[in-house]
Chains A and B, each alone.
Chain A
Amino acid sequence: MSLLHLGWEWLRRRLILASAAGGIALGVGVLFTVLAVFQGFVAELESSIKKVSGDVTLEILRGTRTGQQEFARALAGMPEVASWDARLNWFGLVGRRGSRAVDDPRATDQSGLLLVGVEGEEARDLPARAPSAPTETPAPLLMSQALAAEFGLAIGDVVEVTTFRTAERRTVLARKSFALAGYAQSGRFDLDLDRAIAHRADVAALAGTAPDFSEIAVHALPSVEAEALAAQIERALLAAGIPEMDLPLLKTWRDQGGQLLRAAEDQKGMLGTVFFMIVLVAVYQLVATLLLTVAEKRREIGVLGALGAGPGRVVGFFTGLALLIATIGCAAGLLLGAALVANLHAVERFLGGGEAIFLPEIYKFEDIPVRVEWGSTLLLVGATLACALVFSLLPAWRAARVPIVRALQQR
């Protein structure tokens, strides 16, 4: 460390060493930006999964005799629970507008539709039904614009939903009219292509099922881990006297995310690895530069040796120089990355020749989501410094082997 000032002076006066720091800065800056964007994607995905499924979903078994009130009592005693919503999910069939067999379940041009029956705060966007309205009045329904376009529906259009239900041990056909009252996006493009939102009472009237809820989405307080909450809910349900055979299936938001979430995480890892290659190339350039420096600075290395620097000190000097260059490169790279992330919209327009690259109609966001995680940033800097340290051992070893007498004879 005591010779670091000499390394600093070499760095200041030799453009080739400064350019090595610039290469590392470029690699770190690009990787920082890519990670921030992909972490933003994953965070958006996680947020949308939680929005749809809650932190923990209680999937109620069909035929359970435990009512909603019992579940509510058990959840009400848990300080980790922020809120919960009971829903009724039911599959129905719906035909395209103009279809000749729009209400005939035997027709082949019908599509499956998941009706999600909601109430309370979740139903705030659904128009309320007048209590005195006749039962044949179409019930309000919300769906995504993409799904409405698929069915050829416009707001105000009435659509017949048909389904089969069990009544007195017989399967019977049931149908109900719904009117498209508006559009709703869940944030998950895949889910929005086959689901529609309706009042739970209307879905229950169509399904005729008991109980009239099929899942409870539990939202946790911010600091609560979903897995821990799921275990606590199970204990709370048992403590509340709910029979074991009525215990619902507990799924965390990570379980609900399933393959999609894992795919996003895997892609983040793969992209991080691929872009780290840029950093490795920059570190390789640093090593080549240091090898050149050892060749050019043989006289100076000889002087250090004559003044008492042993092989260990010479190795320490060159690895220290590599770390100094890599540290400056990392610092500049993080600044570059922060600037790129802060101006991502301009960068996107620049790269796209004035046009947006991430189209909102495909990626479902107006602004590119960004999230900087300290853990991955520290990992990036640590990995870069570690690579610089390891790779610099070769030039450092060569420098330590420079014979003093021959080096001093060099002009």
Chain B
Amino acid sequence: MSEARAGTPVVEARGLVKSYRVGASTLTVLQGVSLTLQPGETAALMGASGSGKSTLLHLLGLMDKPDAGEILLAGEPVQGFGPRRAAKMRAGRLGFVFQQFQLLHEISALENVLLPRRIANGAAWWSRRAEERRAARAAMAAVGLAERERHRPPQLSGGEQQRVAIARALVGTPQLLLADEPTGNLDRRTGAEVLALMLRLARERGTALLLATHDPEVAAACDRTLHLREGRVVGA
């Protein structure tokens, strides 16, 4: 995994524009968004529903392409990346936590945590599997689920599933963790626990965190808060 160069932002977005076609009309969700995130920094992205928080995370996570603007990950411009290079970047440098957890139900919690490592290693998986399995077990232990590694997601509570998702996102020690409403599907107490866990682990690993939320209490736990209004970031 490549490390972010000293002094180089983990992610830098400049003038991102993204529109969707809705029937005959065009809806512009992002109208020139710019932001910068330094290594180890945690930031909350706040905005009303439909303000474009998820869209921005998808663009920064290279799961979608902006209509205009520029994204630099660890100083490297990525807008010209094809699907293959974008996928490699996601596997090597980015981690994701989703509101809906997005775990695969057919495999165990431990196998879900191992999944990004299997993908990142490709053909080299067989030679590294013991080492990767140890790392995945450590990640499961870090989120307090060492005893539940053999359970499949439907056998876990919502909070436990989200903790598995956090372990999965952080197992490869990414430079940037993108979390889309990670506590949105959890009760207040469980949500607070999951948030505290995610922030602690991100800070321990020096991973930058961009967290989309509309909960001010969640945002207050981060180093700074970015507001998305009328397609632009305020307070970046």
CA distance A277 to B121 in the complex (A): 40
CB pair B102 A310 closer than 8 Å: no
CB pair B58 A308 closer than 8 Å: no
CB pair B91 A307 closer than 8 Å: yes
| Nearest CB in chain B to that of A309: its residue | B119
CA distance A3 to B116 in the complex (A): 10
Tell me what chain A mostly uses at the interface: helix, strand, loop, or mixed: helix
Q: A9-B106, A299-B102, A306-B102 are in contact. Are A2 and B84 (CB under 8 A)?
A: no
**Interchain nearest-CB distance for A146 vs B (Å):** 65
Kindly identify, within residues 303 to 320 of chain A, every residue whose CB is under 8 Å from any CB belonging to chain B.
303-313
Kindly identify, within residues 93 to 109 of chain B, every residue whose CB is under 8 Å from any CB belonging to chain A.
94, 96, 98, 100, 102-104, 106-107
**Interchain nearest-CB distance for B129 vs A (Å):** 8
Q: Provide the residues of chain A in CB contact with B53, threshold 8 Å.
A: none
CB pair A13 B106 closer than 8 Å: yes
CB pair A311 B83 closer than 8 Å: yes
CA distance A16 to B96 in the complex (A): 32
CB pair A1 B123 closer than 8 Å: yes
CB pair B123 A2 closer than 8 Å: yes
CB pair A308 B92 closer than 8 Å: yes
**Interchain nearest-CB distance for B126 vs A (Å):** 7
Q: Does B142 contact A (CB under 8 A)?
A: no
Q: Provide the residues of chain B in CB contact with A9, threshold 8 Å.
A: 106-107
CA distance A236 to B87 in the complex (A): 72
CA distance A305 to B111 in the complex (A): 16
- Chain A CB within 10 Å, residue with most, of B86, B87, B91, B92: B87
CB pair A308 B88 closer than 8 Å: yes
CA distance A146 to B123 in the complex (A): 68
CA distance A308 to B64 in the complex (A): 13
Q: A308-B91, A309-B87 are in contact. Are A408 and B119 (CB under 8 A)?
A: no
Q: Provide the residues of chain A in CB contact with B143, threshold 8 Å.
A: none
CA distance A312 to B84 in the complex (A): 8
Q: Does A10 contact B (CB under 8 A)?
A: yes
CB pair B111 A308 closer than 8 Å: no
Q: A10-B106, A310-B83 are in contact. Are A404 and B123 (CB under 8 A)?
A: no
Query: Could you say which of B104, B120, B125 contacts A303, with CB atoms under 8 Å apart?
Result: B104
1/0 per residue A385-411: CB within 8 Å of B? 000000000000000000011001001
| Nearest CB in chain A to that of B118: its residue | A2
Q: How many residue pairs bridge A and B at CB < 8 Å? A: 79
Q: Does A300 contact B (CB under 8 A)?
A: yes
Q: Does A6 contact B (CB under 8 A)?
A: yes
CA distance A398 to B118 in the complex (A): 22
Query: Could you say which of B88, B111, B123, B126 contacts A310, with CB atoms under 8 Å apart?
Result: B88
**Interchain nearest-CB distance for A321 vs B (Å):** 12
**Interchain nearest-CB distance for A159 vs B (Å):** 79
CA distance A6 to B87 in the complex (A): 19
CB pair A305 B87 closer than 8 Å: yes
**Interchain nearest-CB distance for B205 vs A (Å):** 18
**Interchain nearest-CB distance for B116 vs A (Å):** 4
Q: Does B7 contact A (CB under 8 A)?
A: no
**Interchain nearest-CB distance for B177 vs A (Å):** 13
Q: Provide the residues of chain B in CB contact with A299, threshold 8 Å.
A: 102
**Interchain nearest-CB distance for B162 vs A (Å):** 15
CB pair A2 B119 closer than 8 Å: yes
Q: Provide the residues of chain A in CB contact with B88, threshold 8 Å.
A: 308, 310
Q: Provide the residues of chain B in CB contact with A305, threshold 8 Å.
A: 63, 87
Query: Could you say which of A5, A306, A408 contacts B107, with CB atoms under 8 Å apart?
Result: A5
Q: Provide the residues of chain B in CB contact with A304, threshold 8 Å.
A: 115, 119
Q: Provide the residues of chain B in CB contact with A404, threshold 8 Å.
A: 63-64
Q: Provide the residues of chain A in CB contact with B61, threshold 8 Å.
A: 306
Kindly identify, within residues 113 to 151 of chain B, every residue whose CB is under 8 Å from any CB belonging to chain A.
115-116, 118-123, 125-126
**Interchain nearest-CB distance for B30 vs A (Å):** 14
**Interchain nearest-CB distance for A263 vs B (Å):** 50
CB pair A308 B107 closer than 8 Å: no
CA distance A3 to B92 in the complex (A): 17
| Nearest CB in chain A to that of B98: its residue | A408
CB pair A310 B64 closer than 8 Å: no
**Interchain nearest-CB distance for A299 vs B (Å):** 7
Q: Provide the residues of chain B in CB contact with A310, threshold 8 Å.
A: 83-84, 86-88
Q: Does B90 contact A (CB under 8 A)?
A: yes
A-B complex: 8 closest residue pairs judged by Cβ atoms = A308-B91, A310-B87, A2-B125, A2-B118, A9-B106, A308-B90, A307-B116, A310-B84
Q: List 30 A-B contacts (CB under 8 A).
A: A3-B118, A3-B119, A5-B107, A5-B111, A6-B106, A6-B111, A6-B115, A9-B107, A10-B106, A13-B106, A299-B102, A303-B102, A303-B103, A303-B104, A306-B63, A306-B102, A307-B96, A307-B116, A308-B90, A308-B91, A308-B94, A309-B87, A309-B91, A312-B84, A313-B87, A313-B119, A404-B64, A405-B58, A408-B63, A408-B102
Using a CB–CB cutoff of 8 Å, the interface residues on chain A facing chain B are 1-3, 5-6, 9-10, 13, 299-300, 302-313, 404-405, 408, 411
Instruction: Given contact pairs A306-B63, A404-B64, enumerate 11 new A-B contacts (beta carbons under 8 Å).
Output: A1-B126, A5-B111, A6-B107, A307-B90, A308-B87, A308-B90, A308-B91, A310-B86, A312-B84, A405-B58, A408-B102
